[in-house]
């Protein structure tokens, strides 16, 4: 079975501080990992995916298969980064369905 764990329900940092949102997964195959974000009063949207190896809004995430982790990092948090962040996994063979973690609410204080 597959599982996505986000251990922190709430995370607060000050503006300019580094931030890391943790995501661990369990899946025996080769997963695809994603980070989705939901800003206040907006819909859920894709932030980044591991397969693209991209940096979006200063965020990066590296898939570590040894540690089964896909932590989201940003070196200097901004107030506008305050949002709910969901880590999600897709199994290669499952036609696109996503398995989500419970989410981490990030608050960036001025």
Partner 1 sequence: GAGVSQSPRYKVAKRGQDVALRCDPISGHVSLFWYQQALGQGPEFLTYFQNEAQLDKSGLPSDRFFAERPEGSVSTLKIQRTQQEDSAVYLCASSPRTNLNEQFFGPGTRLTVL
Binder among 27, 33, 49, 72 for partner 1 (CB under 8 A)? 49
Q: Return d(Cα 35, Cα 77) in angstroms, integer.
A: 16
| CB neighbour burial string for 58-73, b if at least 16 within 10 angstroms, e if fewer | ebebebeeeebbbbbe
Stretch that binds partner 1, among 21-29, 41-49, 53-61, 68-76 (CB under 8 A): 41-49
Cα separations in angstroms, 107 against 32, 66, 98: 27, 30, 25
> At closest approach, how far in Å is the CB of 26 from partner 1?
15
Dihedral sign of CA atoms 72, 92, 25, 101 in order: positive
Q: Tell me if 44 contacts partner 1 by CB under 8 A.
A: yes
Our finding on whether 50 is near partner 1 (CB under 8 A) is no
Asked if 102 touches partner 1 (CB under 8 A), the answer is yes
**What is the contact surface with partner 1 in residues (CB under 8 A)?**
4, 6, 9, 32, 43-46, 49, 51, 86, 88, 94-103
């Amino acid at each position: 079975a597959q599982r996505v764990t986000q251990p922190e329900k709430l995370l607060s940092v000050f503006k300019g501080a580094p931030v890391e949102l943790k995501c661990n997964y369990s899946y025996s195959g080769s997963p695809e990992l994603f980070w989705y974000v939901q800003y206040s009063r907006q819909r859920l949207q894709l932030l980044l995916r591991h397969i693209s190896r991209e940096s979006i809004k200063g965020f990066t995430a590296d898939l570590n298969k040894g540690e089964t982790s896909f932590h989201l990092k940003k070196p200097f948090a901004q107030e506008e980064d305050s949002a709910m962040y969901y880590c999600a996994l897709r199994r290669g063979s499952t036609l696109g369905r996503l398995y989500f973690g419970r989410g981490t609410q990030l608050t960036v204080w001025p």
